[in-house]
Amino acid sequence: MADGTHWPGTWISASSEHAKGDHAGILQVMLKPPSPDPLMGSEDDKVIDFSTVDTRLPMLVYVSREKRPGYDHNKKAGAMNALVRASAILSNGPFILNLD
């Protein structure tokens, strides 16, 4: 990653059940869920006033589904299925953003 720490979805040296096409699922929560209380922006001398805007960020989660050799993982459809299942368990949020 940018700060030099190891990204859990990569492998320095591949081994059995720990390689690009052969690994368990990876789920990494990057931002914790927002608190139920709104967080209003500040009233600075800026062009846009955020003092009445809720500036909380939604929870951000990285999902890499399980892959095994010889098993059809359905490419993008499989990724979306895994993402929907993880989202339902973690947040049950109304929106999912899938970046490809």
Please indicate if the annotation marks 76 as binding a ligand: yes
Please indicate if the annotation marks 100 as binding a ligand: yes
Residue 87 φ then ψ, to 5°: -65, -40
Please indicate if the annotation marks 72 as binding a ligand: no
Q: State how far the Cα of 93 lies from the Cα of 96, in Å rounded to an integer.
A: 7
Cα of 13 vs its chain's centroid, Å: 24
Max Cα separation, the chain?
60
Which residues are annotated binding-site positions? 75-76, 100
Which residues are annotated binding-site positions for UDP-alpha-D-glucose? 75
Which residues are annotated binding-site positions for Mn(2+)? 76, 100
